[in-house]
Amino acid sequence: MAFQQGLSGLNATSKNLSVIGNNIANANTYGNKSSRAEFADIYANAVNGSGSNGIGLGVNVTGVEQQFSQGNITTTSNSLDLAINGNGFFQLANDGTTIYSRNGQFQKDKDGFIVNSTGNKLLGYTAGVDGTIIPSSVQALKLPTGSIAPAATTKVALEMNLDSRQKITGPGVTVPIDFVDAKTYNNATSITAFDDKGQEVALTFYFQKTADNTWDVYATANGVPVNGTPAAPTPLITGMAFAPNGGTLTNPVAPVTMDVPAVALLTGGLTLPITGLQIDLSGATQYGSKFAVTNLSQDGYAPGDLTGVVIDKLGIVNAQYSNGLSKPAGQVVLASFNNPQGLQPLGGNVWASTHESGDPVIGPAGQGSIGTMQSGALEESNVDLTAELVNMIVAQRAYQANAQTIKTEDQLLQTLVNLR
C-alpha cells in the first residue's frame, strides 16, 4: 500500500513548510539563523538482515538544523548595538545560567547594566578603578553612572622653538620684566593646569632673551607671578641655555620644580596651591625660525560627567566624559563552540550549550578563532528570502505529489473492490 509512503511524505513536507515559514517570518530578525529540515528514507528490517528488494516505507524528518553562516552587517545610531563578524556568541546572564546570542541589540538599564530587550545582562571582563581590564572572571558589565573625579596637574611639558634671531630684551634696569609690556620679553605661551578640586589655573610662561643662546623664563598663575612679587617678579629659570647649534638645551637638563600659589578665580574664590609641579623643557630648541609651540601638555583634568559609551573592535567598553577623558569600564567577552549546530535554541534569539555543542571557548573579540566586533552595528538574519520562496514552491509541489499518491492508491483500491 502506498498510503504509508504518501502519508509520511505529507507529514515530512508539512514540517518542511513549517521550517520554511519560520525562516521567512524571521527574515528581519537581527541575529537570527536560518534552519533547514533534513530527511531520511524509511525501510523495514528484513528477516535475518538480508534482502535487497525491499520497498521503502516513506520518509522521515531526522532533524531541523540551524545554519550558522554570517549575516550581513548594518550600521545603526546606537553605540551599544554590537555585531559579530565571524565566529562567536554574546554571553548573557539569565537567572544564574549563561545563555548565548548573536543578536547585539543592547541598551543600558536603570542600574547601569548592559542588557538585551528581555533584560538578560551582557557578560564580560570588569575594569579596575584605574581602568585596567581584569581578565579573571566573567561578570555582568555595568557602566559607570557618576562623574569622574578631578586630578591635579603634576607635569607640564613644553615643546617649542625660540627664534635665535630675536633681540635681547632683558633684564630691565628697574623692573626685570613687565608682563603687560611685550617689549620687556620676547615670547609667551599659556596652558591651563588644574588644582586638586579641578579648578582651572592659567599658567603663562614668558621667555626673555638675556644674551646669545641664553634666556630667562618667568611664569604667572592667573596673572600672578609664581616667583617673587607683582612689583618684583623673579625668573622661574635663570639662564636657560642652548648649545651654539641651537638644537640642544644645555640648561636645565632636568625638569624644573615649580610651586604654584593659591590665586584668585574670576568667580571670586581661590584656587588650591599646586606644589611640586614639574616643568619639562627638554623639547625646546633655538633655531633661526619663528617662535612656534609644537606641543604643550599637562596631566591634570577637571571633573567630568558621563556623556556616552563607545565599544571598540576588541570589545573594550570606553566611558566618555565631558572633560574629554575616556576610561575603560569593562570588556565584552565572546564564546565560540566547536559544534554550534549542537546548541539548543531557546527562543528570543538565544541558545543554550549542550553536550553536542561542547564547552564554550571564551575570549575577547579577535582572539584565536573568535570573530571581530563592530560597535554601532547589527548582524542581520542570514535568511535568503528569495531562496526560501523557491524552497516553498518546491515543498508545495512535493506536498501535492504526495497527496496525489494517496489519491491514486485510493482509486486503485476502489477499482479492486468493484471487481466482480
Per-residue model confidence as pLDDT tens digits over 90-119: 999 998 899 999 999 999 999 999 999 999
Q: Which of 160, 185, 161, 158 is nearest to 287 (CA)?
A: 161
CA distances from 184 to 176, 181, 237, 330 (A): 8, 6, 16, 53
Instruction: Name the β-bridge partners of 91.
Output: 100
- Can you tell me the mean pLDDT for 388-417? 90
Cis peptide before 252 (omega within 30 of 0): yes
Domains annotated for the chain, with CATH where assigned, are: 3-69+382-417 (no CATH), 73-144+312-379 (no CATH), 155-298 (2.60.98.20)
Which of 38-42, 251-255, 348-352 shows the lowest per-residue confidence on average (mean pLDDT)? 38-42
Total Cβ atoms within 10 A of residue 253: 9
**The pLDDT value given to residue 314:** 92
Q: Is 390 helix (H, G, I), strand (E, B) or coil?
A: helix
Q: What average pLDDT does range 347-367 have in this prediction? A: 93
Contact assessment for residue 328 and residue 315, using Cβ atoms and an 8 Å cutoff: no
pLDDT at residue 51, rounded to an integer: 57
Average of pLDDT values for 247-253? 94
Q: Which residue has the higher pLDDT, 144 or 273?
A: 273
> Would the pLDDT of 52 be above 90?
no
Q: How far is residue 27's CA from residue 392's CA, in Å, rounded to a whole number?
A: 14
- Tell me which residue of 133, 117, 200, 191 sits closest to 159, measured CA to CA: 191
**Average pLDDT over every residue of 61-67:** 91
For residues 280 and 296, give the distance between their C-alpha atoms in angstroms, rounded to a whole number.
10
**Distance, CA of 392 to CA of 399 (rounded, Å):** 10
Return the residue matching grid coordinates 570589545.
315
2: which strand partners? none
Q: What is the DSSP letter of 341?
A: G
* Mean local confidence (pLDDT), 248-257: 96
Mean pLDDT rounded to a whole number for the chain: 92
The answer, yes or no, to whether residue 49 has pLDDT greater than 80, is no
pLDDT band at 53 (very low <50, low <70, confident <90, very high): low
DSSP string computed for 81-104? -EEEESS-EEEEEETTEEEEES--
- Please tell me the pTM assigned to this model: 0.78
Do 181 and 163 touch, CB atoms closer than 8 A?
no
What crossing angle do the helices spanning 385-417 and 3-25 adopt, rounded to 10°?
Answer: 160
pLDDT (tens digit per residue) in 15-26: 999 999 999 999
